[in-house]
A and B are shown apart, each in its own frame.
Chain A
Amino acid sequence: MERRRSFPDVLAGGVFVLIGGAFVAGSLGYELGTPLRMGPGAFPLLVGAILAALGLAIVVKGLVAGEMISFGPIPWRAIGVIVLAVVFFGFTVRGLGFVPTSAVTALLTTLASSRVRPLTAVAVAAGLTVASTLIFVVGLQLRIPLWGPWLGF
């Protein structure tokens, strides 16, 4: 019988083992209490261990009889740009204010697509900034200043 190795299964299992293990390690730093009077660490320790065990089972299964899933290409450009755009938003929205932050975030995000033309990107970013200002600030009365203190006024 030929073994079917499945890279996605092993990767997923690995992620689960890693995260489960990290939570287990973290839980040990908190008070565990007794089985019947649990401390803050007990529940995450238990669930973390279950997750790690399930992850291990998935790895083993992936090595023996894995699911055949095509992993496909990875859109590195999109990942990088979207991460940058969202982190930029979180980092600057208070300092720069709603309008500049939204505009830059929208512009960066449009660049995630490799097929976008520069002019389209600018037009989309401008349109989205206007639309989101109208919806969130004018319409829903969101309490974010339009222009932030970093801009000096």
Chain B
Amino acid sequence: MRPTSRYRAAARMIAAIGVVSLAAACSGNGGTTGGGDAGGGYPDQNITIVVPFSAGGPTDTVTRLIAEPMAAKLGAQVVVQNVEGAGGTVGAGEVARAEPDGYTVLMHHIGMSTAPALYQDLGFAPLENFQTIGLVTEVPMTIVARKDFAPATLQDLVAHVKANADTVTLANAGIGAASHLCGLLFQTAAGVKLQEVPYEGTGPALTDLVGGQVDFMCDQTTNTSGQISAGEVKAYAVTTPERVKSLPDLPTTAEAGLPQLEVSVWHGLYVPTGTPQDVVQKLSEALKVALADQKVIDQMAKLGTAPVPAEDATPQAHRTKLEEQLGTWAKVIADAGVKAS
């Protein structure tokens, strides 16, 4: 083979890849550019929101929902990056060590308040290493069981698991997952110690619940409402003070007689400590604007949740929530004797 024909072949191959990547570029225009009020220094480059969980999960979806209106308000590109691992602590640790300039922002959920209790050598302290921006949303959870599970109401369930503590199985989506935390709180509230069956994520856990392999679990409404309305699982209660719009007949835990069991998967935005106050304010303002966006409200409603009220989307309210939750979970987790490392 002559060398020229070789290189021609290579060139053709590269051209083929070029066509493919062009197609990708046309459909893959993922960044969101805003054209809003720029000026005043910050921001003059892309802002990255780190999501410490996998793309497509509930936290990622919420982040991507608010990224666009936030970008429009800030007048800069907002890029969502997934840095997964170790219950969200890898991504959080990375942001804790990032430059405190407001260009690296963290979206984290309830896991921020449980990490210090679950992990030794965490490498960061939520209150010391992070500046809060504001709360974003609080996702309700539901207690569900396989459809042929005997108890009919939440109080029946508590009585049943107490009487059969050595045979009942409680599924969860892994150590530190929202379903695990809710399960711990259930055991504390009911005053019982159950056999927990961990899974790797909600999907497989719910599969085995629908298949009747395990008895019950507690998970985010986002994941369970489809199965509940189809009658594939039996639902007992929702864990927030108010009922959920998509499941109007489902009582709250307080109504059903277990008021101690109140938990939601709350989400908030953070920047590293040392970020200038005016930058924090700008981010908080942008968050508020995003949460008031009708499209965001609609999309969140579809997810079975809603933006927090405007007064909670502030650094102060978020910090108060974080402090309170850190205290709650430190006790629950220590009592349960759970350790992730």
Contacts and interface: CB of A to CB of B under 8 A. Distances in A.
A140 B21 contact: yes
Interface string B22-57: 101100111100000000000000001000000000
Contacts of B48: 143
B14 interface: yes
Size bracket, chain B contacts: 10 to 19
Interface in A129-143: 131, 134-135, 138-141, 143
A143 B21 CA distance: 15
Contacts of A131: 14, 17
Contacts of B25: 138-139, 141
A48 to B, nearest CB: 21
A140 B28 contact: yes
A135 B21 contact: yes
A139 B24 contact: yes
B79 interface: yes
B129 interface: no
A92 B283 CA distance: 30
B24 A140 contact: yes
Interface string A118-150: 000000000100010011001111010000010
A61 to B, nearest CB: 38
B20 interface: yes
A139 B29 contact: no
B81 interface: yes
9 contacts: A127-B14, A134-B18, A134-B21, A139-B24, A139-B25, A139-B28, A140-B21, A143-B48, A143-B79
Q: Which 3 pairs of residues, A with B, have the shortest CB-CB distance? A: A139-B21, A139-B24, A141-B28
Interface of B: 14, 17-18, 20-22, 24-25, 28-31, 48, 79, 81, 99
Given A135-B20, A138-B25, 11 more contacts: A131-B14, A134-B21, A139-B25, A139-B28, A140-B21, A140-B24, A141-B25, A141-B28, A141-B29, A141-B31, A143-B81
